C-alpha cells in the first residue's frame, strides 16, 4: 500500500469521503436514486385520488326512470361513463379488457316492476382486481343506488299523501359522517408517499452501508483502513460510516422539507420531534445494516439479506395492510424494521398531531438500533485484517 | 450457408457455457431460484389474511337511548369493526386512539334517538385514524351498511304512522341493491396485489440475474473464481445464446409463479394456463432485452443490488396496479409504457383475475412484442459498442480479444 499514509479518525473520514466522491455508483445511490424516487412518488400521486374512473352503464329498461338513474350516476365526480353496453356480457367483456373498472346494471322492466311494487333489484359490479379504482367505484355506485332508492321512496310516499318535506328525513333516518383525521380528502399521495419515501431511504442507506463495508473486504483495502485506525475496528467503522451519515442527514432533511413543506402534506405536530425522528432514523438504518454485516460479513450474502428485508419492509412494516391483521409469526418482523418506527412517529406527529408522550418508545427503539451493532463490531476486526472475498 | 452454420454453432456453445457459468455461480442462482421460488411465498404469506377484520373502535355516546345502543351493537356486529368500549367523553376516547388501542371514535350526540323518533335525521360522526387506508375503508363500508339497514328498518316501522295503509305497499325491500365485486370476489388484499407482484418479481429476477452476470464480466477471473467470458464471434449469437439459457432456466419458476402460487394461496385463477404462458413469453423476452441494456451500467457484480433493488418500487407504482394507468401524469405514463412488467401486469391480471382470453388482451400482447423488438435492437447496440469494449479493456481482456479475433479469422 501507500507508504507514509496519514493516520487517525480525521484521515479515515477524508478517505471515506474521497471514496464516495470518486465512485459514480455512490453518487447515484446516495443522491441520484433517492432524490429521483422522492420526485417520482410525489409527482406520480400528485392528483391525490384517481377521478373519472371509466365506467359502463347497462340500461336494459330504457325508460325515463332508468335514464334518470344514468344521469345521476353520470353526474358523480368520480365516474366517467365511457361505455354504454347493451347486455351484461357486453359490459363484462369491457371490464375484462380493462376498458371499464365496473358497471351499473338496470334490469328489464325496471320502472314497471318498481311502480307495481315487485321490488326489482339494481346491481353494480366493481373490478376489485384493481383495488383503488374499484373502491372508488364501489363508493360512487353505492351513493347512486341509495339516492335512487331514496328518490323512489319519496315518490311512493308522496303518492300516498305524505308531505315531501317530511318524507326526506324518513328515507335517511340515520346519518353518520365519516371523517378522516389528518387526511380528509383521502389523498393517496399523503398516504403512500409518507410511508414509501422513508422506505426508499431506509433501503438505500442499508444497501450503501453494507456495500461500502463489503467493498473494503473485497478489494482488500480494509487492511489499509485498519492500519490507519491504529488497529481499532470501532475507529475504522466510525470513520468510514460517519461521513455517509452526514450525507444521509442532508438527504433526510431534504425529504422532510420536500414532503411537508413543498408538497404540503399534513403536518400537525412538532417540527422538532419530527426532525429528530428523521435524523435518528438515518443512524438507526445504518445501525441495522452494520449489525447485519457483522453477522454475515460476506458482501454478496449480506447485500442479499439487506435487499430482501429492505424490499419486504414495504409490506412488513404495515404501510398498507395492518400489522394486527397479519399472522403473528410475520408481524414480529414488522417490529424489526427501523422504517416501522419512522412510520409510527410520522402517523403520531405529522398526521394526527399527538403528544410526544405517545411516541416516546419509538425513539427508544431508534437508540437500540444505534447501540446494538456496537456489541458485534469486534467480529469485523478479523475480517478487516485478513480479508477474504467470496463471490 | 457456412456462416449460418457457424452462427448456430457459436450460439449453441454460448448457450452451453452460460448454463455452466450460471450453475456454478451462487449469486446468480439466488436470483434465479430462491427469488422466484421463495419470495412469492413469503410475500403472499404477509398479506394472506386478505381482509382487515375486527378493527377496534370506541364509542362516545351522549345520547344513551335504545336507538344509539342499537347503532353501536350493529356496528360491532360488522365483520370490519369491533367495539372496544364506551368512553365518557371525547378526550378519553382520544387517549385510547392516541395510544393505538382503537382506530376510530364513533360520537353520537345527545338527542339522536329523539330526533329519529320525531321523524328527523339522527346525525353522528365517526372519526377515523388515517395512517392506513384499509382500516378507514373497513369502517366506511361497515357504517354505510349499518346506516342502510337501520334506515330500511325504521322506514318500514314508521311509514305506517304517516299513512296508515302505506305499510302494505312499502313492506319488503322496495328496491334491493346488489353490490357484486368482480375479479377479486372476496375484495381481499392478497388476491388484489399478488397476481401483479408475481409478474414484477419475474421481471426483477431476470434483470438482477443478468445484471449480476454482466457485472461478473468486468471482474478479474481470479476474484470471481471462473472465467466469466462467454462470447461467440457474433454479438447477436452471444445474445441469443444467453437469452435462451435464461429462458430455459426461468421456464419452470415462471410457471410456478403464474400457476402454482395462485393455486397454493387460492388467488383468483380465472385464466387459461396455456394462454397465460403464451402471454408471458414475450414479457420474458422483452425483459431479457431490457436487462442486456442494463448491463452497460453494471461494472461490478454487487452493484446490481445498490442500483437495481429499489427500482422494484418504481415498477410497482408505475405498473398501474396501485394507481390506474389512465390517470397517470403523461410523463410517467410514457415511462411505464416502456417497462415490460407494466404490460405484463396489466395483461396477466386481466387474464388471471378477470378471466380475459388472450385475444381480449391483444393490445398488451402486441405491446410486449413491440417492446421485445425495441429493447433487443437497443440491446444489440449497447452490447456491441459499450459492453463488449468495456469488458475487453484490461490486459486479461485483451488476451481474450485476441483469442476471439483468432476464432473469427479461422
Among A31-45, A169-183, A349-363, B235-249, the minimum mean pLDDT is found in A169-183
> Would residue B62 count as lying in a domain?
yes
Residue B157: pLDDT band (50, 70, 90) is confident
Q: Which three cell numbers stand for residue A199?
A: 422506505
CB–CB of B81/B149 below 8 Å? Answer: no
pLDDT value at position A2?
Answer: 45
Do B204 and B219 share a structural domain? yes
Task: Determine whether the interchain pair B189/A28 forms a contact, defined as Cβ–Cβ distance below 8 Å.
Answer: no
* A174 vs B26, B43, B116: nearest CB: B116
Q: Is the confidence at residue B171, as pLDDT, over 80? A: no
CB–CB of A55/A95 below 8 Å? Answer: no
Phi, psi of A81 (to 5 degrees): -75, 105
Domain that holds residue B161: 55-170
Do B36 and B88 share a structural domain? no
pLDDT value at position B220?
Answer: 59
> Would residue B27 count as lying in a domain?
yes
Q: Which three cell numbers stand for residue B254?
A: 415462471
Distance CA A111, CA A121 (A): 11
A233 close to B (CB below 8 A): no
CB–CB of A175/B147 below 8 Å? Answer: yes
> Would residue B183 count as lying in a domain?
no
Of the residues B111, B138, B170, the one at which a domain ends: B170
CB–CB of A352/A268 below 8 Å? Answer: yes
* B154 vs A46, A173, A330: nearest CB: A173
Do B142 and B12 share a structural domain? no
Q: In chain A, what percentage of residues exceed pLDDT 70?
A: 98
Do B293 and B215 share a structural domain? yes
CB–CB of A255/A278 below 8 Å? Answer: yes
Most confident of A198-207, A297-306, A379-388: A198-207
Do B148 and B207 share a structural domain? no
Alpha carbon B302 to chain centroid, angstroms: 25
Distance CA B192, CA B322 (A): 10
Do B39 and B59 share a structural domain? no
Do B79 and B34 share a structural domain? no
Most confident of A84-93, A156-165, A297-306, B14-23: A84-93
Distance CA A250, CA A220 (A): 30
**Average pLDDT of chain B to the nearest whole number:** 87
pLDDT value at position B272?
Answer: 92
pLDDT value at position A259?
Answer: 93
CATH code of the domain covering residue B97? 3.40.1710.10
Give the gyration radius of chain B's Cα atoms: 30
Total domains in the fold of chain B: 2
pLDDT value at position A166?
Answer: 72
Do B33 and B70 share a structural domain? no
Task: Determine whether the interchain pair A320/B353 forms a contact, defined as Cβ–Cβ distance below 8 Å.
Answer: no
> Would residue B176 count as lying in a domain?
no
> What is the arithmetic mean of pLDDT over B37-54?
92
**Beta-sheet strand order (sheet of B122-129):** A174-181, B122-129, B104-108, B55-61, B81-86
* A146 vs B55, B148, B181: nearest CB: B148
- The alpha carbon of residue B9 is apart from the nearest alpha carbon of chain A, in Å, by 31
> Would residue B175 count as lying in a domain?
no
> Would residue B182 count as lying in a domain?
no
Task: Determine whether the interchain pair A128/B129 forms a contact, defined as Cβ–Cβ distance below 8 Å.
Answer: no
pLDDT in tens, B348-386: 999 999 999 999 999 999 999 999 999 999 999 998 888
> Would residue B399 count as lying in a domain?
yes
Of A207 and A51, which is predicted with more confidence?
A207
Classified as helix, coil or strand, A61 is coil
> What is the arithmetic mean of pLDDT over A204-231?
92
Q: Which three cell numbers stand for residue B220?
A: 478479474
Q: What's the whole-model pTM score?
A: 0.91
Size of interface A-B (CB pairs under 8 A): 359
| Half-sphere exposure at residue B59, Cβ-oriented, CA atoms within 13 angstroms | 23
> Which residues on adjacent β-strands are paired with residue A80?
A54
Place of cell 466469466: B228
Q: Is the confidence at residue A379, as pLDDT, over 80? A: yes
Do B229 and B348 share a structural domain? yes
Place of cell 436514486: A33
Do B270 and B230 share a structural domain? yes
> Which residues on adjacent β-strands are paired with residue A85?
A58
Cβ contacts of A132 on chain B, cutoff 8 Å: 322-324
A2 close to B (CB below 8 A): no
Distance CA A210, CA B78 (A): 47
Q: Report the candidate in A255, A286, A246, A288 with the shortest Cα–Cα distance to residue A20.
A: A246
pLDDT value at position A164?
Answer: 72
CB–CB of B206/B311 below 8 Å? Answer: no
pLDDT value at position A226?
Answer: 92
Q: Which three cell numbers stand for residue A206?
A: 442499508
> What is the arithmetic mean of pLDDT over A322-343?
92
pLDDT value at position B408?
Answer: 60
pLDDT in tens, B98-144: 999 999 999 999 999 999 888 888 999 999 999 998 999 899 989 98
pLDDT value at position A3?
Answer: 46
Do B230 and B135 share a structural domain? no
Task: Residue window 60-119, chain A: list those with CB within 8 Å of chain B.
Answer: 92-93, 95-98, 101-102, 114, 117, 119
Distance CA B82, CA B103 (A): 10
> What is the arithmetic mean of pLDDT over B62-80?
94
Task: Determine whether the interchain pair B181/A93 forms a contact, defined as Cβ–Cβ distance below 8 Å.
Answer: no
CA distances from B186 to A33, A242, B35 (A): 37, 50, 28
Q: Is the confidence at residue B79, as pLDDT, over 70? A: yes
Do B221 and B136 share a structural domain? no
Task: Determine whether the interchain pair B125/A176 forms a contact, defined as Cβ–Cβ distance below 8 Å.
Answer: yes
Q: Is the confidence at residue B221, as pLDDT, over 90? A: no
Residue A1: pLDDT band (50, 70, 90) is very low
Place of cell 328498518: B153
Distance CA A377, CA A226 (A): 13
Distance CA A299, CA A215 (A): 7
Distance CA A388, CA A17 (A): 24
Q: Is the confidence at residue A120, as pLDDT, over 80? A: yes
Amino acid at each position: 500500500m501507500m507508504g507514509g499514509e496519514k493516520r487517525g479518525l480525521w484521515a479515515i473520514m477524508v478517505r471515506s469521503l474521497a471514496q464516495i466522491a470518486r465512485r459514480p455508483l455512490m453518487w447515484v445511490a446516495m443522491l441520484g436514486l433517492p432524490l429521483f424516487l422522492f420526485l417520482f412518488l410525489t409527482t406520480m400521486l400528485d392528483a391525490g385520488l384517481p377521478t373519472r374512473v371509466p365506467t359502463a352503464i347497462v340500461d336494459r329498461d330504457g325508460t325515463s326512470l332508468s335514464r334518470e338513474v344514468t344521469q345521476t350516476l353520470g353526474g358523480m365526480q368520480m365516474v366517467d361513463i365511457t361505455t354504454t353496453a347493451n347486455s351484461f356480457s357486453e359490459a363484462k367483456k369491457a371490464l375484462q379488457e380493462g376498458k371499464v373498472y365496473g358497471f351499473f346494471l338496470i334490469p328489464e322492466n325496471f320502472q314497471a316492476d318498481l311502480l307495481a311494487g315487485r321490488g326489482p333489484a339494481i346491481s353494480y359490479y366493481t373490478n376489485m382486481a384493481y383495488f383503488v379504482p374499484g373502491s372508488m367505484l364501489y363508493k360512487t355506485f353505492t351513493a347512486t343506488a341509495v339516492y335512487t332508492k331514496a328518490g323512489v321512496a319519496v315518490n311512493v310516499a308522496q303518492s300516498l299523501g305524505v308531505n315531501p318535506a317530511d318524507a326526506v328525513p324518513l328515507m335517511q333516518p340515520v346519518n353518520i359522517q365519516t371523517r378522516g383525521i389528518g387526511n380528509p380528502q383521502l389523498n393517496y399521495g399523503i398516504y403512500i408517499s409518507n410511508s414509501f419515501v422513508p422506505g426508499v431511504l431506509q433501503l438505500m442507506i442499508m444497501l450503501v452501508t453494507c456495500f461500502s463495508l463489503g467493498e473494503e473486504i473485497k478489494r482488500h483495502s480494509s487492511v489499509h483502513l485498519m492500519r490507519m485506525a491504529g488497529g481499532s475496528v470501532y475507529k475504522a467503522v466510525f470513520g468510514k460510516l460517519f461521513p455517509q451519515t452526514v450525507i444521509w442527514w442532508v438527504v433526510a432533511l431534504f425529504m422532510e422539507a420536500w414532503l411537508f413543506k413543498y408538497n404540503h402534506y399534513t403536518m400537525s405536530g412538532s417540527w422538532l420531534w419530527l426532525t429528530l425522528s428523521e435524523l435518528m432514523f438515518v443512524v438507526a438504518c445504518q445501525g441495522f445494516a452494520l449489525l447485519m454485516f457483522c453477522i454475515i460479513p460476506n458482501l454478496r450474502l449480506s447485500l442479499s439479506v439487506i435487499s430482501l428485508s429492505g424490499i419486504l419492509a414495504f409490506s412488513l412494516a404495515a404501510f398498507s395492510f395492518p400489522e394486527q391483521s397479519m399472522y403473528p409469526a410475520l408481524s414480529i418482523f414488522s417490529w424489526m424494521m427501523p422504517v416501522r418506527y419512522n412510520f409510527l412517529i410520522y402517523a403520531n406527529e405529522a398526521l394526527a398531531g399527538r403528544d410526544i408522550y405517545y411516541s416516546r418508545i419509538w425513539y427508544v427503539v431508534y437508540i437500540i438500533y444505534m447501540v446494538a451493532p456496537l456489541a458485534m463490531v469486534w467480529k469485523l476486526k478479523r475480517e478487516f485484517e485478513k480479508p477474504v472475498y467470496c463471490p | 450457408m457456412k456462416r449460418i452454420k457457424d452462427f448456430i454453432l457459436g450460439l449453441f456453445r454460448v448457450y452451453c457455457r452460460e448454463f455452466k457459468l450460471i450453475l456454478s455461480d451462487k449469486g446468480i442462482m439466488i436470483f434465479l431460484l430462491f427469488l422466484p421460488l421463495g419470495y412469492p411465498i413469503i410475500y403472499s404469506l404477509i398479506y394472506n389474511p386478505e381482509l382487515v377484520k375486527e378493527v377496534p373502535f370506541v364509542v362516545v355516546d351522549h345520547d344513551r337511548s335504545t336507538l344509539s345502543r342499537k347503532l353501536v351493537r350493529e356496528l360491532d356486529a360488522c365483520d370490519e369493526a369491533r367495539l372496544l368500549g364506551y368512553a365518557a367523553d371525547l378526550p378519553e376516547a382520544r387517549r385510547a386512539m392516541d395510544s393505538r388501542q382503537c382506530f376510530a371514535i364513533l360520537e353520537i350526540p345527545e338527542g339522536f334517538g329523539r330526533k329519529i323518533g320525531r321523524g328527523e335525521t339522527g346525525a353522528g360522526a365517526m372519526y377515523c385514524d388515517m395512517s392506513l387506508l384499509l382500516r378507514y375503508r373497513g369502517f366506511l363500508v361497515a357504517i354505510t351498511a349499518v346506516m342502510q339497514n337501520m334506515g330500511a328498518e325504521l322506514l318500514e316501522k314508521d311509514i305506517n304512522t304517516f299513512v296508515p295503509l302505506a305499510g302494505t305497499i312499502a313492506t319488503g325491500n322496495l328496491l334491493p341493491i346488489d353490490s357484486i365485486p368482480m375479479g377479486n370476489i372476496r375484495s381481499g388484499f392478497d388476491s388484489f396485489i399478488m397476481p401483479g407482484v408475481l409478474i414484477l418479481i419475474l421481471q426483477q429476477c431476470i434483470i438482477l440475474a443478468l445484471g449480476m452476470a454482466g457485472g461478473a464480466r468486468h471482474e478479474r477471473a481470479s476474484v470471481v473464481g471462473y472465467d466469466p467470458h462467454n462470447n461467440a464471434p457474433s454479438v447477436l449469437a452471444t445474445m441469443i445464446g444467453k437469452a435462451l439459457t435464461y429462458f430455459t432456466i426461468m421456464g419452470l419458476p415462471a410457471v410456478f409463479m403464474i400457476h402454482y402460487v395462485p393455486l397454493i394461496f387460492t388467488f383468483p385463477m380465472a385464466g387459461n394456463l396455456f394462454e397465460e404462458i403464451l402471454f408471458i413469453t414475450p414479457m420474458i423476452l422483452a425483459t431479457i432485452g431490457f436487462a442486456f441494456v442494463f448491463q452497460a451500467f453494471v461494472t461490478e457484480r454487487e452493484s446490481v443490488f445498490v442500483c437495481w433493488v429499489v427500482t422494484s418500487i418504481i415498477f410497482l407504482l408505475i405498473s398501474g396496479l396501485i394507481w390506474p394507468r389512465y390517470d397517470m401524469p403523461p410523463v410517467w405514463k410514457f415511462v411505464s409504457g416502456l417497462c415490460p412488467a407494466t404490460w405484463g401486469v396489466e395483461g396477466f391480471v386481466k387474464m388471471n383475475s378477470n378471466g380475459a382470453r388472450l385475444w381480449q388482451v391483444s393490445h398488451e400482447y402486441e405491446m410486449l412484442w413491440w417492446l421485445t423488438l425495441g429493447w433487443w435492437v437497443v440491446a444489440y447496440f449497447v452490447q456491441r459498442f459499450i459492453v463488449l469494449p468495456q469488458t475487453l479493456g484490461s490486459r486479461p481482456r485483451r488476451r481474450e480479444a485476441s483469442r476471439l479475433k483468432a476464432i473469427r479469422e479461422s
